[in-house]
Amino acid sequence: MTVSPAACGRTRVFLFSSGTLFGGGIESLLRREADLELVGCETDVSSALDQIRHLAPEVIVFEDGEAAAEARRALMGVLGDSPCIRLIGLNPHDSTICLYRSEEQAVKDVGDLTAVIKVRRSAETMEPAEQRLLDLASKVSGYRIAVYTILKLCETPRLYSEVEAAVLPLPQMKNAVYSPGNLLTWLEERGGIERLTEEGRWQTTQAGRKVAEAEAPDKRLLQLISHDPAYSEIYVQVLGYCQTPRKRTEVEDLLKGNPAMDKPKVYASFFTGGLEDAGGLEWVDGLWRTTKAGRTVLG
C-alpha cells in the first residue's frame, strides 16, 4: 500500500463501531475534516483487525463502553504490534474519550474527538525531539534503514515523490505494511522532518540531522561489534561470509560448534538479527546479504 503525495500530510483514521447510528455520525464528522483521511470502517472485530493490518492507519477510533470489552481487548492487541498507532475510545453514554496509554478526559461534544485525533501524544511533546526520533527508530526497527534514508535524503528539501522513489526500493519495504507516507508523518510528529508548505517539499530538521548522524549504519555497526568483545569476531565473520548471499542454514552451519555461543547459549539468528538491525545485513529473496555499510566496516 502506498500513500499518495496529496494524502501523505493527512492523519489516517480507521473507525470501528458496533452500532450503525454511532458509526454513521462519527464517519460524517471525520469526513468533514480536510486534514483527516478516513481509510476504513468496520462493525465486525475480526474484519476490523484484518483491515487495520492492511490499511495501516495512524489512529483507530472505536465505540467504547461496558459492552465493548471484547473489541477493546482485540484493538489493544494492535498496539503491541504497531506501537505508533493511537487508539481512541469514545463512550457515547457518558461523553468520555479515552486515549489508550494516555489519560481519559470528558468531552463537551463529539466534535472534540477531532481535536484529540489531531493532538500529538503528551510524551511526544515533552521529550526532546532527538529522543523521540531514537525511540521511533527502535519501535519500528524493521524500518530503521528507511527512517535513516529519509532523514539523510531530506537534508536537501525533497518532494514526496522523491522520498518514495528512494525508499520503496529498499529491501525492508518489500511487502511492508507501512508506506513512506506513514514514515514521513511519524518523523514530522516527532520533530525530525518539517514540511515546507509553499514548496510542497519535506526537509530534515536540526534534530533529525543529529539523529541521522547517530543512526548512520556504519556507526551503529561499529558500536554493535565493539559492544561485546566476546562476539566481535563472530559479527565480523558473518559480515564477511555474507558478502556472497547466503541461506539461513548456511550461516547456521558456519557458526555451528563455536564455543563463544555456548555460555550463554545463543543462536545464529542472534547475530544475523543484530547485524540486520544495525544495517550490516539485509534479507533479500530468502538470502542474507552484506550491505554497503557492512562492506565499509569490513574495509
Q: Which of 214, 237, 266 is the last residue of a domain?
A: 214
69/44 same-domain check: yes
Range of the domain at 251: 217-298
Is 130 among the domain residues?
A: yes
Q: pLDDT, tens digit, for every residue of 93-123? A: 766 677 665 444 454 455 566 766 665 444 4
Is 3 among the domain residues?
A: no
User: For residue 189, what is the domain's CATH number?
Assistant: 1.10.10
The pLDDT assigned to 246 comes to 96
To which residue does cell 560448534 refer? 257
18/95 same-domain check: yes
SS3 of 25-61: the string is HHHHHHHCCCCEEEEEEECCHHHHHHHHHHHCCCEEE
Q: Which of 179, 199, 214 is the last residue of a domain?
A: 214
Task: Give every CB contact of residue 38 below 8 A, 6+ residues apart in sequence.
Answer: 13, 14, 15, 27, 30, 31
Q: Which of 103, 119, 135 is the last residue of a domain?
A: 119
83/132 same-domain check: no
% the chain with pLDDT above 90: 24
The pLDDT assigned to 240 comes to 95
The pLDDT assigned to 31 comes to 82
What does pLDDT average to over the chain?
A: 80
> What is the rounded distance in angstroms from the CA atom of residue 159 to the CA atom of residue 188?
14
> Grid coordinates representing 48?
476490523
Q: Examine the pLDDT at 250 and tell me if it is beyond 50.
A: yes
Is 90 among the domain residues?
A: yes
Which one, of 82, 71, 88, 96, lies nearest residue 30 by Cα? 88
The whole-number average pLDDT for the span 152-167 is 94
Of 89-103, 118-132, 219-233, where does mean pLDDT reach its minimum? Answer: 118-132
φ, ψ dihedrals at 42, nearest 5°: -145, 155
Is 106 among the domain residues?
A: yes
DSSP 295: H
Percent of the chain as helix, strand, coil, to the nearest 5: 55, 15, 30
Is 6 among the domain residues?
A: no
Can you give the pTM of this predicted structure? 0.54
% the chain with pLDDT above 70: 81
> What is the rounded distance in angstroms from the CA atom of residue 139 to the CA atom of residue 126?
18
DSSP 120: P
